[in-house]
Amino acid sequence: MTNFLAYAILLLSLIVLIGFFNEKKTKLTYEIALMLFSILIGTILTVIDAVINSQSVSEVLYSVQVFDLEDFLMKGVLCFMLFAGSCHMKLSDFKRLARPVGVLAVICTLLGAVFYGMLFYLAALLLKLPFTVPMCLMFGSIVAPTDPIAATSILNKFGLPEDISFLIEGESLLNDGVGVALFVCFSGIVKAQGGEGFFQVMFREIFGAVLIGAVVTSLCFVIFARTQDIKRQIFVSLLAVSLAYFLCEHFECSGAIASVVCGVLFAAFRQKEEEKRGGWELPEFDGFWEVLDNLLNSILYVILGFSFIRILQMPYVFRLSVIAVICNLLARFGSLYASSFIMGPIPGGYDRVSFSKLLTWGGLRGGLSIALAMSTAPMLSNEDYHIVLGCTYAIVFFTTIIQGLSMKRVYERIERERNGRIYN
């Protein structure tokens, strides 16, 4: 209990102090500020520990190193974060942009994993690393899916066109299942185990999750709509998303997709109920999920920032990290450009190159990729595991900080180029 309170106080202190300093001084995007300052604090603590060998500092650094992000995210808070991010989305927008969202979530993720895997394999050959094709494809499946938490918390604040913003958010919310299906297939090959084929895994992960999410939400919303107690309504929503996630874990479906389905259907059912009643505002309900989302996001970005310490302890990974980031950008652009030929009219009226540039820079990665990378420990040698983990951290930090900070400028530059072509 004492350790839990100590960690809670430490995390909340950092969240409050960094947030206050950022609000008054730096004025960066909140989540990026949390990560940047956590990296800075973690680096300073590492230097202090190396110079004076303080026991208290060593204990803090050790607690960061042994923290199980995979367990915290995948078996803890992920379902609530995804529900909070999707419960404001409209089912009508999903229907209107179903084809481009579906193509990006499925085809683009598949191509991105393959493109990345082959590019990293070529780099591994040049550097004489013992990475096989299946290992590189497994690595590709880890970094190919964009992160829904980063998309909903960071990109929504940059004033992108509504359709493009929804496309990025919708893709990131749905491509988790495809990434997990690919990861299961390629990791099975790496472990030299037989198993289900890709399409069987993908069908179970995606369609099983949609079915479970829809059934659980429909049943729980019956209670939700028939109670006037706002506390009970909040409890019902918590029950719905946690139960759907638990059932998906049991039946080996994508709990992340089920959480998104719960959120979108809750929003759709609320809208129908509001039309039926002639008004049904629930500000306390929305406020609860907004606060919970902000708290969990803040904790995640502080933890990710402190995790930079792990890269500092893997200096040999730095060169590979640069290669990994370049491979990620090339694979993302190539998969987007190829996918644009089958997605129908491109939202926003962009040409294929401009569209691919914009979504390449908007393809942020986050805690989900790191959690998947951590799960490779039992199937890789210690050196290979640290290469995969270190490179994944590098991609997450680059996409969140560099791409996140410059996204608005990239968008404005693409708009200027597009307007220049129109007027010329």
pLDDT digits (tens, 9 = 90+) for 194-239: 566 667 877 888 889 999 999 999 999 999 999 889 999 999 999 9
| Chain centre to alpha carbon of residue 52 | 37
Whether residue 239 is found in the same domain as residue 367: yes
Whether residue 43 is found in the same domain as residue 75: no
259 or 149, greater pLDDT: 259
- Sign for the CA dihedral angle at 247, 249, 254, 260 comes to positive
Structural tokens at position 328:
């990620």
Whether residue 49 is found in the same domain as residue 197: no
Structural tokens at position 387:
């290469």
Q: What is the pLDDT of residues 124-158, one digit of tens each?
A: 999 898 899 999 999 999 999 998 777 766 776 77
Rounded to an integer, what distance in angstroms lies between the CA atom of residue 420 and that of residue 424? 6
Whether residue 6 is found in the same domain as residue 82: no
Whether residue 61 is found in the same domain as residue 85: no
- Residues 98-121: what's their mean pLDDT? 95
Report the CATH number that the domain containing residue 185 is assigned in CATH: 1.20.1530.20
Whether residue 297 is found in the same domain as residue 324: yes
Phi/psi of residue 240, each to 5°? -60, -50
Whether residue 96 is found in the same domain as residue 159: yes
Rounded to an integer, what distance in angstroms lies between the CA atom of residue 98 and that of residue 87? 18
Rounded to an integer, what distance in angstroms lies between the CA atom of residue 191 and that of residue 149? 30
Please give the span between the terminal C-alpha atoms of the chain, in angstroms, as a whole number.
Answer: 67
Whether residue 206 is found in the same domain as residue 166: yes
55 or 367, greater pLDDT: 367
Residue type, 295: L
* CB-CB contact of 304 with 38 (8 Å): yes
Least confident stretch, 14-23, 58-67, 275-284: 58-67
Question: Where do we find the tokens 């220049």?
Answer: 420
User: pLDDT category, 122, cuts 50, 70, 90?
Assistant: very high
Whether residue 249 is found in the same domain as residue 320: yes
Q: Of the candidates 66, 96, 122, which is a domain's last residue?
A: 66
pLDDT for 2 beyond 60: no
Res 196: pLDDT: 65
Whether residue 412 is found in the same domain as residue 345: yes
Q: Of the candidates 19, 50, 66, which is a domain's last residue?
A: 66
Least confident stretch, 97-111, 157-171, 250-264, 280-294: 157-171
pLDDT for 395 beyond 90: yes
- DSSP letter string, 335-382: HHHHHTTTS-SPGGG--HHHHHHHHHHT----HHHHHHHHTTGGGS-H
Q: Of the candidates 46, 66, 86, which is a domain's last residue?
A: 66
Rounded to an integer, what distance in angstroms lies between the CA atom of residue 354 and that of residue 361? 11
pTM: 0.89
pLDDT for 352 beyond 90: yes
pLDDT for 408 beyond 60: yes
Q: How distant, in Å, are the alpha carbons of 21, 89, 276, 391 from that of 369?
A: 29, 24, 42, 11
Whether residue 280 is found in the same domain as residue 386: yes
Whether residue 407 is found in the same domain as residue 306: yes
Res 1: pLDDT: 44
Least confident stretch, 96-100, 152-156, 239-243, 340-344: 152-156
DSSP, collapsed to helix, strand or coil, labels residue 341 as coil
Question: Where do we find the tokens 């299942």?
Answer: 177
How many structural domains does the chain have? 2
Res 204: pLDDT: 86
* CB-CB contact of 329 with 364 (8 Å): no
* CB-CB contact of 17 with 26 (8 Å): no
Show the domain range for 251. Answer: 69-423
